[in-house]
Amino acid sequence: MVKFATCLAIATLLSACSGGCGNTVLADSVSPDGRSGAVIFQRDCGATTGYSTQISVVRPGSRPTGAGNAYVADGNHGAAVANHGGPWVETRWIDAGHLLVRYDANSRIFKQESQAAGVQITYEAVDR
């Protein structure tokens, strides 16, 4: 019985450490040629972490299942303007292969890729 309880406790701890994140889509847009999409989403990984705002470049109609492949930021302990839990961000397609990402200058940036899924990305920090 003790062995079973120990195994159950270890399994519970391991399951709490993996996976427990969820994505909520906030906005999405399709490139002018219809071949790429940009999805802005909030990622929540539980009570021990704050919300983050993330962006993934995907095929149109697809939804990110993990972390953002292009952009990841949090609110920098309240310094950035919150938008549905994470910091404000917006996207605009410059052309079929170029995405502009505007974000709150007070955000704490964890990822800011210059290219994702074949799309060039330019970033602009905005004082809000």
**pLDDT of amino acid 48:** 66
Tokens of 107: 């955000």
Going from the C-alpha of 44 to that of each of 5, 20, 66, the distances in angstroms are 30, 8, 11
Model pTM score: 0.82
89-95/52-58 β-pairing: unpaired
Picking from 33, 32, 31, 51, the residue whose alpha carbon sits closest to that of residue 43 is 51
**What are 37-74's pLDDT values in tens digits?**
999 999 998 776 778 999 999 999 999 989 999 999 99
Picking from 61, 71, 54, 70, the residue whose alpha carbon sits closest to that of residue 34 is 61
Q: Do residues 24 and 18 touch, judged by C-beta distance below 8 A?
A: no
